[in-house]
Amino acid sequence: MITLPAVKAGRNTRGRLLIFCCLAALALTGNTFADTPYGYKVQSGRVEVTGTSTDVPITSVSDMSRAFVLVSPGTGYAATNSNSDIVQVRGYLQAVDNIRFERTTTSNSTWVSYQVIECMGSEFTAYRGQSSMTTTDTSKVLNIGSTVTPANCLAFVTADNDTASRSYYSQAMLTARVSSTTQVTIERNDSGNAAPNLNWVVVDFDPNKIDGIQHGSVLVDDPNYFDPELVNINAADANNSILIFQARPTNNGVNQVAWAGNIGSETKIKFYQHFAETGYANIEWYLIDFGSGNAQRGLLDESANENWFTSDASLSPSVDPNKAMHFHSITCDGIGTAYPRPMSTAQFTSESNLRIQRMIDGQESYIEWQVLELPSGMIDTAPSPDPMTWAVVPFATGPNSISMTATTASDTSGVEYYFTCTAGGGHDSGWQDNPSYEDTGLNELTQYTYTVKARDLSTNYNETAVSTAESATTQDGTPPSPDPMTWQTV
């Protein structure tokens, strides 16, 4: 059974978690066995952000450098137009057991969805930070705090908005890219009024543990659903991949800020807005091929339904929300500033359904969605310790026997031991489940040398390397001569 924790009180106490929240149930962090965990686990949910700060407790991640958060745009609080300071929110991993969401006003509230993605086998290293822009800034170049490989990195940014207006939403729509081995660049195309606070994360993937990551920057100008912007990519396995992107628009209209995108084929990705309109956007995109997984994607066509509030993507086969990540994007068929109609959240309502939800209707949309069930499990390795070690080195127990004990080994599938006599002509033990062995039938006053190894009981029978060679000499079992003893004649 999973117990959902109550929301922590930050500077407010009205933050409410939606009942359905995906919490990882697999407790791998206390693992003491030789087999090692790999892959990913995910915690996700939907939360109402109230006041200027809302804390959302999560199951503790093992290490903040092994986890990152993806956050949807804010959607507002009700079926009414709302100013950007109410709706737009930034979110970040504040502690191993807490996500913090912040905005610049105490008025009303906004809903967001989030995902905490944690790696179990050092598949990536995450770096994070926060900054702000002045009203005139169009970019910020920030130090990552470490050296990374840009070609292996995902960058993502969230921002709040300090303007009590619907005219400047686009000024807090930012993108992030790793611009050097030590810096991340945050950019926007519209400025002059909003001075957003921002939180960024850079995720540096181990290229040996994924099949690849691709990144690009593309200027998109006037594409629509029927004529999308197609971007060539290196061939990637769509079954194992997910596309993550953010757009920085030049104009503030609800159609102009709402960009949809998805994987079109193994060699192309696509982006579009609802209809061609003045202005353009720059999109920073990242395509991650995890090497194995179970990807599903599709289109929810709400282009004839301006009254949609929720739209459900049916998943077949069903997925484990504790291992599945998602990404969605929508268009908005409208002009003007009827915000937050272009903003939506996504959440798993069951193992077979991803729900896209907005808080205000009024314009039609195309909704592109993706779900990727990430790989995870245990790597079947040799027992621990490896190489094998001695608990008690060989020692004589008599003139014809030597005893010894190996260090007790551990493995999830069980363990057997093999003692080998490498010198002296003694006997091997054969595979046995007892870590102790006594070699009998030996010659007295003879040195014998032994090693020990272990193997697991998996179908692979993974063996450790052998221990150091250790020797013992049997005791003297022959009485003095003559025997029986005699008397000396005087």
User: Residues 178, 184: contact at Cβ < 8 Å?
Assistant: yes
Q: What proportion of the chain, given as a percentage, has pLDDT over 70?
A: 92
Say if residue 350 is in the same domain as residue 458.
Answer: no
Query: What are the tens digits of pLDDT across the range 53-91?
Result: 999 999 999 999 999 999 999 999 999 999 999 999 999
Amino acid 378: pLDDT: 63
Q: Is residue 418 part of a domain?
A: yes
Indicate the number of domains in the chain.
2
Verify that 215 and 316 share a domain, yes or no.
yes
Residue 479 lies in a domain: no
Q: Looking at 327, 350, 377, which one is the last position of a domain?
A: 377
Q: How far apart are CA 423 and CA 451, in angstroms?
A: 10
**Considering Cα of 187, then 282, then 172, then 103, what sign does the dihedral take?**
negative
373, 385: one domain: no
Assess whether 67 and 208 both reside in one domain. yes
State the CATH number of the domain containing residue 446: 2.60.40.10
Residues 271 and 251 in one domain: yes
What are the tens digits of pLDDT across the range 92-150? 999 999 999 999 999 999 999 999 999 998 999 999 999 999 999 999 999 999 999 99
The single residue listed with the structure tokens 């610049």 is 104
For residue 117, give Cα distances in angstroms to 110, 126, 200, 237.
23, 10, 15, 21
Which of 110, 105, 200 has its CA nearest to residue 162? 105
430 and 372 inside one domain: no
Pair (303, 446) in one structural domain? no
Whole-structure pTM value: 0.76
Give ∠ CA 371-373-375 in degrees, rounded to 5. Answer: 150
Query: Looking at residues 272-288, what average pLDDT do you find?
Result: 94
Residue 54 sits in the same domain as residue 165: yes
Among 291, 402, 383, residue whose Cα is nearest residue 35: 383
- Say which amino acid occupies 102: E
Which pLDDT belongs to residue 379?
63
Same structural domain, 399 and 308: no
Domain boundary among 327, 347, 377: 377
Same domain, 347 and 390: no
Domain membership of residue 63 as a residue range:
16-377
- Looking at the fold, whether 277 and 400 belong to one and the same domain comes out as no
pLDDT tens-place string over residues 192-226 = 999 999 999 999 999 999 999 999 999 999 899 99
CA–CA gap between residue 158 and residue 388 (Å, rounded): 50
CA distance linking residue 185 with residue 489, whole number of Å = 107
Torsion over CA: 300, 303, 304, 310 (sign): positive
